[in-house]
Amino acid sequence: MHRFLAPNLRWLRWTAGALLLALFPVFVREPYYITLAVNLTTTLILTLSLNFVVGASGQWSFAHAAFFGMGAYVPGVFASRFGVDGWLGLPLGVASTMLLATVIGLPIVRLSGYYLAVCTLALGFLAEIIVRQAVDLTGGSYGIQQIPPLLIADYPLKGGSYYVVALAAMLASSLLLDNIKDSTLGHAILAARDNAVAAASCGVNVGRVKLTAFVIAAGLAALAGWVHTFYYLALNPSLLASDWTFLWYFMVFIGGLGSVPGVVIGTILLSIAPELLGIATQNQVLAFGLLMLVVALFAPRGVGGIIADLLRTDRVVPANRSAT
């Protein structure tokens, strides 16, 4: 009985959650909170995809901000310079970022641990430099202003109506990652992380599976970039700064690497708390650093680990959630 009900409940939960979240701008009309909500959805796409590539696939990628920036710049540049519609910019930005991730991923997914981290970090710095130098295309350090907004039947999407687009992108990303988790590909990704030799003995092409995880995460980061661009309608090369990647890592670690609910909580906590508490930007790093220290000392598996310990009913380590 449980088995038959489960899939319906899953869709019910997703639909109910989506409707509930979509109602947010109906009740909250203040632009400040709308901006906060759009930023939060963007950041959630980034942290969930980072959690996927680092947590599930075990690849320490520090190029996330670069992929985010590419996903932001490609549609932005096409829209402002060549008049390409913002909706068309979405597949354009995501596809070109995934293509780039494939090309750079082919050699670097063979690396692991520190080597992968250093290599992707260098690529992240390189990406920012390139964007700052390619002045003709990207506007250099000055950036790009007045990008034409997304339109639905000549009606420009902004504020509350744009939030719905951002929300849809976030929910689609989460659903995609949740589906992958319970698929042969998802199992292979975990297997390749846990034990490459054993994964190969099961017929898993470890290199290809790791590259796939890397490219999917890059594509999602690019989607977040697109959401960002058409909310702010302006671009600035500091978007590609590796500081962002570090911030997303903070969120993932404080939430608990590998735990989706934990990462969601970590992201909400670190995105919204400083705003609501009125902590100035320069003090944020200090606050996050202290928080990180506390988490590392007292809850090394983050918020997600605390939740898992609280929910645990028996001493048997829970298996991955069954697909049905």
Rounded to the nearest whole angstrom, what is the least distance from the CB of residue 133 to another protein in the complex? 34
Among 133, 141, 183, 283, binds another protein (CB under 8 A): 183
157 versus 191: smaller Cβ distance to another protein: 191
Helix, strand or coil, per DSSP, at residue 15: helix
Q: Are 65 and 242 in contact (CB under 8 A)?
A: yes
Q: Are 256 and 305 in contact (CB under 8 A)?
A: yes
216 touches another protein (CB under 8 A): yes
203 touches another protein (CB under 8 A): yes
Among 198, 286, 290, 293, binds another protein (CB under 8 A): 198
Helix, strand or coil, per DSSP, at residue 152: strand
Rounded to the nearest whole angstrom, what is the least distance from the CB of residue 136 to another protein in the complex? 36
**Rg, C-alpha atoms of the chain:** 20
Among 57, 212, 229, 267, binds another protein (CB under 8 A): 212
Q: What are phi and psi of 233, to 5 degrees?
A: 55, 30
Restricting to residues 96-125, name those near another protein by CB under 8 A.
none
Q: Which among 42-50, 84-92, 209-217, 225-233 is the span making contact with another protein, rule CB under 8 A?
A: 209-217
Q: Which residue has tokens 């992108």? A: 169
The DSSP-derived string for 157-211 is P-THHHHHHHHHHHHHHHHHHHHHHTSHHHHHHHHHHH-HHHHHHTT--HHHHHH
15 touches another protein (CB under 8 A): no
Residues that bind another protein (CB under 8 A): 176, 179-180, 182-188, 190-191, 193-195, 197-206, 208-209, 212, 216, 316-317, 319-320, 323-324
